[in-house]
Amino acid sequence: MRILFTKAYNLREQEIKFVQGVAGIYFIYLVDLEISYPFQSSKLIYIGMSESKHNSLSMRLRGHLTGQSGNTGISNYAANYKVKFTYYSAEVLKTYGNDNVYDLESFFLTDFLEHHGSHPICNGQAGHRLSDLSKKISASVDWTFFC
């Protein structure tokens, strides 16, 4: 199965509200600027996750927008460039064979690394190891949405 991205939202308070109470994986990207990664350029700057509805995508995105997350790279990009986000809910992603949000985030980070030669510029981390080898995610990611 192939994972495609189709819907985008501005990284602004009004649109962050749309994902209140949603757990899942989110992707933050620049609209008009590409980052030169070793293998291929991309507008994607961050892959993140929310593991619960209490600490939802909206809370995580709001923290990045305001700088409260501690990731000043994202808040600085948002202050100086047009930035958008897209996401997949944990409910949708579990159909790919794994319902552990940490594993899902690690899957996307690893796939991006394999295709671009580096993790997204504002991630700077390797994620975590798959919690259960029998729950390997059987999908490929179409990263062209971020080109």
Domain ranges of the chain: 2-146
Predicted local distance difference test score (pLDDT) of residue 137: 83
How open is the CA angle 92-97-101, to the nearest 5 degrees? 60
Task: Show the tokens assigned to 61.
Answer: 């995105």
For the stretch 75-134, pLDDT in tens is: 999 999 999 999 999 999 988 888 889 899 999 999 999 999 999 999 986 655 655 666
pLDDT at position 80, please?
98
- Give the pLDDT score at 135: 67
Q: 105, 146, 112: which is closest to 128 by C-alpha? A: 105
In this structure, which amino acid lies at residue 51? E
- Extract the tokens encoding 136: 């390997």
Q: CA 52, CA 36: separation in Å to the nearest integer?
A: 33
pTM for this one? 0.93
- Assign 75 to helix, strand or coil: helix
How far from 128 is each of 28, 55, 63, CA to CA, in Å? 20, 19, 22
